[in-house]
Chains A and B, each alone.
Chain A
Amino acid sequence: MKLNCNKNELYKLVSLAERSTSKNPTLITLSSILLRTNKNRLFVISTNLEVGFEGSLSASIEQEGEVLSPAKTLLSVLYAIHEEDINMYNIGGNLKIISKTSSINLKCLPVDEFPTIPKIKKENHFLISSDSLIEALKNTILATATNYTKPELASVYMFSQGKLPLTLIATDSFRLAEYKTDASYLSLSILLPQKTCQEIIKIFEDFNDDIEVVFNKNQVLFHGRNISFLSRLTEGKFPEYQTIIPKSFDTQVFTDKNQILNAVRAAGIFSSKLSEVVIAVDGDKSILSVKSSNAETGEYESNYPAKISGASVEANFNYHYLLEALQAISKQKVFLGFNGPQKAVLIRGADDTRYLHLVMPMRGN
């Protein structure tokens, strides 16, 4: 292998590929990155057997070939090089990286130990814009469960049926987030592991292009211009969630997002050990209150007028949940729908039907 390429582009791909390596593998090749040339492109490949990453950049290639380089070392070395223009070639079992001012000799591993990344037959596939996908993932991933006892809840559910919008849903059983994208697909029902979602967000965040999604029973492939990301899917069935989303509300509140966001954030300072804050809606006086008290640190209370219809209600919430839900709202005005102190509150942007968030209250006393 002998080639010349842009270091910054290579560094970017290697840093993404490094995230998909295994951190303490039984098989040493799983913490390595495969560099392979093909025509005039250099491929950067890694896997931890859960996911597989493959990115490519253009390079002027003098001699085709491949090397398997330890991921951490390669990443650090590339970071340390200042020049953009680098030459690389392999000599014996080693990789030489030469820039104007530096020369590096990196010990590599035998290439034939590196696993092949499985291929998926292109039977089920659709296109979605990276913006839409990332936005949807970001807004739902926060509601996924953080433990793995129920893998289907530690995943984002991607669902589409006929002409209905492709929808992403996640819930940890205490809150639920639902985002409707502008894509659609005849019939789709897959569970993306939370970790996979995080990686997709990282990889395609500023991608600004369409992404092709190919899937089968066990795996899914996200394929962009020069990057492919393959992941296993979570086995199992996502619970029937539609019944959870309330259709009507006893109390409806329209208010300014930043106002309630700031109030909740401030109330968080004085929340109890249980992270509890109180939302009180006074339907008669049209006053929305956010309160908290902590025996050790003090009390907080904020009252301000809001557009309220329906009955008065007072419910307790974990303020982390409220905060995350409110932060995810992109509109200036938010809607809150209550059905008494024991039922979930629905939070969404006023006149926004794309995104909604449900938060279950805490048991009051």
Chain B
Amino acid sequence: MTSKINTLKSFSSKFGLLTIAATFAFSFAGICSAQDHHEKINEHVDDAADHENIHSEEGEGAPAGWKSWKSDGPGGFIMHHVADGHQMEWAGFQIPLPVMLWTDEGFQCFSSSNFYQEENEAHVHGMEGHAFSMGDEYIMINEVIYYLKENGGIHGIEEKVMKAEEADLLLAEIAILEKEKEKANTNDEKTSLNNEIAALSTEEKQLRKSAIITAPFDISITKNVLGLLLVMVIMVFIFLRVAKRYKKREGQAPKGIQNLFEPLILFVRDDIAVPSIGKQKADKFTPFLLSVFFFIWFANLLGLIPFLVGFNIAGTMSITLVLAVVVFVITTINGNKTYWGHMLAVPGVPKWVLILLTPIEILQMFIKPTVLMIRLTANITAGHIIILAFVSLIFLFGAGSEGAYWGVGAGSAIFMIFMYLIEFLVAFLQAYVFTLLAAIYFGSAVEEAHH
């Protein structure tokens, strides 16, 4: 056990030092490269809402992150970096990714650089975020791709947005009428109000129907999908190598990469799987737990590499949703008699309490993986947001004077390093927590009755 901890310690300390060094280097690189934009930001922070103005004055090749700063302030800047996107940004370069669409006319695949062009920038009133059009076929608003021609061009989309807003207004009106109906005394009043509500709701439904902005099915390799695939490739590469070592050096002491991962594999097996599931049944679930643990951990570490396109893999709901669903499916499939019995009728509880308890228990079945999903997403995203907030601080305060720029910069850098170290812990901790809770759910599903 002590040797295990020692290996982990030396491993983490090496990586810790690496991070500190990397963070220092990248923070300053970031500050320096950002300095060019510094002046421009000063001009635009005040009239950030004025989109037309920005379009005309935007610098050549300015990263979209800075554009979001200009249009939406630090909030937009942070969200832009945390959110998924159809291209990667690295040190001012824009790296296009393949856009894959399942359209009415079949499968389409093209580079995302078709969207991210200055001449393609569009503005849709009523829709937040950046819009890029591609010919007259597609428009990408806030990283979501819609049909353009089919929706009647930008103007058509704007109209649809207006219609949706009108529908929202109607909904509010209906709510007011409902309240009036409750207060109404006579039957006549009630029927007339009912008629009014029915008329408004049909109108609202029609508006909603016509307000739907049609979109192709987007199965693009986005930034986070690429990160996900990268993590998967790294995992397969590493663990096939580790497995080869185990085959080659059967019964011998671990060596090299095998030695690096063995404590972690043992940690997952002996400290997560076995205590939560039990020795006999743990073997069945250990491969999944190992995969999930290393996937989340690697994904988090990849997201922590400073200024490397800002992967936010485990902080993307769509990805954690899949993990949670897999956990749910495994738990449900493996649920034994005791598990279902416990859920449908908790033993040793009076019958009238069961009326209350059983729905809660059934709901809990879904709540558990949902919580798993939200916890992971929120924790990873929050870490990224805090670090980006410190970056934003530099430019917010730096807008005043050169002194404030460097002073707040230094302070922010120190806090960022501190946050990075915490993030390193969180990267591991969240992988551990997700795996542990999944193991506990599996354990509850296969537990034998002992009362």
Do these two chains really belong together in a complex?
A: no
Q: Name A residues whose Cβ lies closer than 8 Å to a Cβ of B.
A: none
